[in-house]
Amino acid sequence: MTIAPVQRPASNAWTDAKLILALEEVVETELDRHLKVAKEWMPHEFVPWSQGRDFDGVLGGEAWSIEQSKITPLGRISLVVNLLTEDNLPSYHHEIATMFGREGAWGTWVHRWTAEEGRHGIAIRDYLLATRAVDPVELERARMAHMSEGFESDNAHSMLQSVAYVAFQELATRISHRNTGHFAGDPLCDQLLAKIANDENLHMVFYRNLLKAALELAPDQAMRAIADVVTNFRMPGHGMPGFERSAVQIAVGGVYNLRIHHDDVLQPVLRHLKVMEIDGLGPEGAKAQEELGVFLDGLNAQAVRFDERQAALLARRAANAARK
Ligand SMILES: [Fe+2]
Ligand SMILES: [Fe+2]
């Protein structure tokens, strides 16, 4: 990647406004690349409309009941979490439009990204309702509750933290959709979530490349932002109703857990950017890099303990199922 030949100011001299200006050219390049590789797809093609029928209420159709759902219990939990996360798009749009602005290449990206994300919620909701996969009343109430809370990023106060967060978060979302598809028990659902996961991957690549350019421009500040984001990372669904309970099921079921977070989300981005190998940092950057290394070792140790507990729990479940 080439970046504008900007004079590198002394450490910590980069304000958000200066960074946004200096990175505009990178955003333009990345936007062009994104538009070339992103393939148009149609959400309606992934919805089996012929399975749809009227619900009770206004149309006097059949009320939802759980036997109508053909997907796995884990698929139901995970699809609802993923959909509610997508549903909060107005808040995410507000966050990035406020941070990155709505003008120039940044603005074009903000709007394009929002349009692509909008497709995800539309497609998943249509699929869930047409196939009667989840309780539509519970889903709507959860959406109202979740969106009424809004979403405020932990990283809203810093442009570099915002970029670092979305680079990891887009990959986390990709993995979460992909694994949900694998465990949902319906090949069509798997196909739909693979399409969505592909969009999320392209979003990750955009932000990861932007983060790479930021590391070149402002290495100490970018390193600090990466360390802060990785050590405090939370998924955007953390405020939704019943999230803690759902997160446990999602972790044990292997859709998203500490092991996946460490191996499939944090490490691929950090390795690609060679974050742990960057040298020549100032004292602040070096300190952040060291903190990051210590944190990753600790996280890996926690993931080992999680793996052991998960294996024991799954073995107990299998033994109980065999006894029945
Ligand atoms: Fe999405
Ligand atoms: Fe995305």
Q: Per-residue pLDDT tens for 191-248?
A: 999 999 999 999 999 999 999 999 999 999 999 999 999 999 988 887 788 899 999 9
5 within some domain: no
Asked whether residue 91 is assigned to any structural domain, the reply reads: yes
Answer yes or no: is pLDDT of 276 > 50.
Answer: yes
Ligand 1: distance of its center to the CA of 200 in Å? Answer: 6
Is 185 within a domain?
A: yes
CA gap 134, 143 in Å, rounded: 13
Average pLDDT on 128-151 reads: 96
Positive or negative, the CA dihedral 121, 126, 131, 136 is positive
What CA–CA distance (Å, rounded) separates 21 from 28? 12
> What CATH code is carried by the domain that includes residue 146?
1.10.620.20
Give domain status of residue 3, yes or no. Answer: no
Write the single-letter amino acid at 154. Answer: D
pLDDT-derived band of residue 3, with 50, 70 and 90 as boundaries? very low
As residues whose CB is below 5 A from the ion ligand 1, the structure lists 117, 120
What is the mean pLDDT of the segment spanning 66-94?
97
Q: Is residue 58 part of a domain?
A: no
Closest ligand to 113 CA?
2
- Tell whether the model's pLDDT for residue 130 goes beyond 60: yes
Residue 278 has pLDDT above 60, yes or no: yes
CA–centroid distance, residue 203 to ligand 2 (Å)? 5
Tell me the three state secondary structure of residue 71: coil
Asked whether residue 206 is domain-assigned, the answer is yes
Question: Which pLDDT value is given to residue 108?
Answer: 98
Evaluate whether residue 221 is within a structural domain: yes
Q: Which domain holds residue 81?
A: 72-323
Query: In total, how many domains does the chain have?
Result: 1
The predicted pLDDT at position 4 comes to 42
- Is residue 20 included in any domain, yes or no? no
Rounded average pLDDT over 125-144: 98
pLDDT for 10: 53
* CA of 84, nearest ligand number: 1
Torsions phi, psi for 242 (to 5 deg): 70, 20
